[in-house]
């Protein structure tokens, strides 16, 4: 949280020419403030499930923009900042006020919306906020977008406008010897999750003597590991 405050907000918009000493001091102050806010929220908690629920809601609200920023050039720092703040505020409101009870109900009574819709609603509301902020704020400078594309090669239709603009200015962003590796990277991420969780659960089943489940998950883990190695070999890892 402190790194976002310092690098993405203070150093970029408040005081771009700030010295390193000043940035360090801002980081320290923001860290203390975040600790105070976190302590205040912790005092409102009645059990660990509430904290876990808030973390899940926050992740659900910000997850979409953290993925889409690789696929759409228009997303900027303000988009991410607004997503984090709105997701955090919505999560707190749903957990510590009557709004959550009215909308989603409790174990004893139904709300306006079904209980399973809690996370989709958080995603929807957060997305409305960051999309509005995205279109109300200026996009990143062309040089920043060009440099980002050269370094990461995100590819995809969401960056087509930037590629065309760079080409018109005589700049080459797409490396002829580099393929678009983002889809393969996403697939590798999913396969990696299967590998990790398969290994974790199979280990637990072996320990507790559930040999049938352990054998199935161990086989699944081995298959996923082989698939992950094959996928990784196809991904271009060189960064320009």
Q: What is the pLDDT of residues 208-232, one digit of tens each?
A: 999 999 999 999 999 999 999 988 8
What mean pLDDT do residues 157-169 have? 87
| Continuous segment of H or E residues that includes residue 23 | helix 20-44
The tokens for 180 are 């678009």
| Continuous segment of H or E residues that includes residue 88 | helix 77-96
What mean pLDDT do residues 149-169 have? 84
Q: What is the pLDDT of residues 63-80, one digit of tens each?
A: 889 888 888 999 998 898
Instruction: Output the pTM of the full model.
Output: 0.70
Please tell me the predicted confidence (pLDDT) of residue 237. Answer: 53
Smallest Cα–Cα separation from 80: which of 165, 162, 12?
12
Instruction: Check: CB of residue 72 under 8 Å from CB of residue 82.
Output: no
Q: How many CB atoms lie within 10 A of CB 70?
A: 17
Where does residue 151 fall: left (phi above 0), alpha (psi -120 to 50 degrees), or beta otherwise? alpha
Q: How many CB atoms lie within 10 A of CB 31?
A: 15
Q: What is the pLDDT of residues 15-53, one digit of tens each?
A: 888 888 888 888 889 889 888 887 887 777 777 777 788
* Separation between Cα atoms, residue 191 and residue 229, nearest integer Å: 10
Q: How high is the mean pLDDT of the chain?
A: 85
What mean pLDDT do residues 139-154 have? 85
Smallest Cα–Cα separation from 140: which of 39, 10, 13?
13
* Of the listed ranges 6-10, 57-61, 83-87, 119-123, the one predicted with least confidence: 6-10
């Amino acid at each position: 949280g402190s790194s976002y405050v310092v690098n993405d907000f203070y150093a970029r918009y408040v005081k771009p020419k700030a010295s390193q000493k000043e940035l360090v001091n801002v980081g320290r102050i923001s860290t203390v403030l975040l600790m105070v806010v976190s302590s205040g929220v912790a005092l409102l908690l009645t059990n660990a499930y509430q904290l876990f629920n808030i973390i899940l809601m926050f992740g659900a609200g910000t997850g979409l923009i953290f993925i889409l920023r690789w696929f759409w050039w228009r997303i900027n720092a303000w988009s991410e900042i607004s997503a984090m703040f709105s997701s955090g505020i919505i999560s707190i409101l749903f957990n510590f006020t009557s709004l959550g009870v009215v909308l989603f109900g409790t174990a004893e009574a139904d709300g306006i919306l079904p209980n399973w819709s809690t996370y989709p609603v958080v995603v929807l509301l957060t997305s409305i906020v960051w999309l509005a902020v995205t279109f109300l704020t200026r996009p990143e400078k062309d040089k920043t977008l060009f440099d980002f594309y050269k370094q990461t090669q995100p590819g995809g239709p969401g960056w087509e406008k930037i590629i065309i603009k760079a080409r018109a200015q005589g700049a080459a962003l797409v490396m002829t010897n580099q393929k678009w590796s983002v889809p393969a990277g996403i697939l590798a991420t999913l396969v990696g999750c299967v590998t990790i969780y398969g290994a974790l659960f199979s280990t637990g089943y072996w320990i507790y003597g559930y040999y049938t489940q352990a054998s199935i998950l161990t086989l699944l883990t081995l298959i996923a590991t082989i698939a992950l190695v094959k996928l990784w070999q196809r991904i271009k890892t060189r960064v320009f």
